[in-house]
Structure 1
């Protein structure tokens, strides 16, 4: 499943994906607030509602939040054993003068 320009609350997304527990591949991108970039919340959602998810790609823009203060802390959340060892999902933090992104490697839907 590919979702581009995602701009909803994470809670709405959680309710939606609970209806498709057999999902194996998910790519999602958007410019969103901090709640979608909660690695621990993603971990709980994937473990409880998406047990068959094999491929997960995301790219989230962080320009609307206090990105300079929080972006590296948020990025560090995605460096745990759940992401690296259990799933082989790796992320990077991209910084430009006017925007910040956290995305999986390779970065999906990059335009």
Structure 2
């Protein structure tokens, strides 16, 4: 197996793990039968779109969003420290988490 292929598999695994955190946290904050949660269950981890994160941001209360953000940060910190990841994979974890977090933050005026 090539190094490029192995990296691709690891990145897919990392993205799947983050998507699982998002899905489980959203199910806990809303309900497992909420339409957004059900929709996410069917989504490929690479298809979790900005549109989905925007809908989630609009649906959750401020406190729920803060809990979701905290869950993502905890996941990122835990995954970042895993010894099996290379420097590039750690950078990918951090960048991916930051991307999701930025999309969950409400826009600031000014």
Give the TM-score normalised by the residue count of structure 2.
0.34
Bigger Cα Rg: 2
Higher strand share: 1
Give the TM-score normalised by the residue count of structure 1.
0.34
Higher helix share: 2
**Structure showing greater relative contact order (alpha-carbon pairs closer than 8 Å, 6 or more residues apart):** 2
